[in-house]
Chains A and B, each alone.
Chain A
Amino acid sequence: MSVKHSLLALLYENPGHGYELKTGFERLVQGMWPLNAGQVYSTLDRLERDKLVESPGYDEKDRKLYVITELGKRELWDWLKQPVARSLLKDEFYFKYLCADLVDYEEKQNMIQKQKETMIKDILALTQLKKQMNESQQYSMKMLIEGALLHLEADIKWLDMILQD
């Protein structure tokens, strides 16, 4: 799971405490995926239970510190090494498209049209975000956005295809 492995990666170079990891994670995703503190602490508890991290003690402000273990590093490498398959049905819209036929949904064309508009809004928003990433020289995040834009391009082509039949 991505939060777990991101925390391992954030701990890879230096020990850290929960709050540091929360802000580190949010920086990693440019604030686009807010984590609550509870999520961070429960993930750290699980990592500690599984011996992927351990605690050398507390810092001067009495915050519990964590370091990655050898087992944790191995887990991180294994995770990086595994390719990720794309599942056909991961997109909720695909289900709407299938289910619209089941119920003979009269607004199907309109539903597709609205979906296309939503994707165009996403393109516009991502294009703006890409500008910001360019200005702040966040290369990896910029490339993620390029990837998302390419997906959107394909999605729109597909929507145009099903709009026609």
Chain B
Amino acid sequence: MIETIGVKREFRTGKDTVSVLKGVNLFVNKGEFVAIIGPSGSGKSTLLQLLGGLDVPTEGSIILNGSTMEAKTEKQRTIFRRRNIGFVFQNYQLLPTLTVHENIVFPLHADGKKVSEYDVQKLLKAVDLKGRDKWYPHELSGGQQQRVAIARALINQPDILLADEPTGNLDRRRSSDILDLLSKFHSERKQTIIMVTHDMFAAGYADRVVLFKDGVIETEVRREEDDYAAFLSRFMA
């Protein structure tokens, strides 16, 4: 379960304070697949960072599986994240000095867990990167790096997957494979997924679509509602 209560986030740049999130109230049940859509700069990535415990709100509260994130120290949040959350960054954020294999198993290593080579190979195959184990991020294309980031987010079989445009740099074929993979994790493991996307086809996998605008949730609609298609038609190109 994920809940945000009146979440605000302000940033200081020089003398100015910019208010990026202006009171976000979001409730996501365990096992739900939610797509967040909205214009560039509306605060989607900022919210995802907060949900992932990578940042804390200026005001308001974030509760993940019953734990209040802003009450934790940074170290506690990091540990919590490693055990419960898979995070796919919009700009991948692979560690440049580590190989593909090392990047993928990093969350397990950091948590002192054993690595199952079988699981790693299975994931590498699922993201179509078989045989690239020893490559370094700078030797990979943007789309390939994105797929490494997805494998890394899934390796610890997290309860919660937060994915920031996970198919943004992929061709339709690969993007479809990745979405099928996420959807498989979602249905087999009752994983909760929150995915930021601009892609109607990606949103087609979700149970609910949340429209973000100017730092707040403008509206949301569930798949079973009659106006789901009309909503997507209006807000997605």
Residues of A whose CB lies within 8 Å of any CB of B are: 113, 116-118, 120-121, 123-124, 127, 130-131, 134, 146, 149-150, 153, 156, 160
Contacts and interface: CB of A to CB of B under 8 A. Distances in A.
Nearest to B179: A127
Contacts of A156: 200
Nearest to A153: B201
Contact of A131 (B172, B187, B229): B187
Interface residues of B, number: 18
A120 B201 contact: no
Nearest to A152: B201
B184 interface: yes
B230 A127 contact: no
Nearest to A113: B233
Contacts of B228: 124
Given A117-B233, A120-B229, A124-B223, A146 B176 contact: yes
20 contacts: A118-B229, A120-B200, A120-B233, A121-B229, A123-B200, A124-B204, A124-B223, A124-B228, A124-B229, A127-B201, A130-B180, A131-B183, A131-B187, A134-B180, A146-B173, A149-B176, A150-B172, A153-B172, A153-B201, A160-B237
Nearest to B228: A124
Contacts of A118: 229
B201 A123 contact: yes
B205 interface: yes
Contacts of A123: 200-201, 204
Interface in B129-185: 172-173, 176, 180, 183-184
B28 interface: no
B232 interface: yes
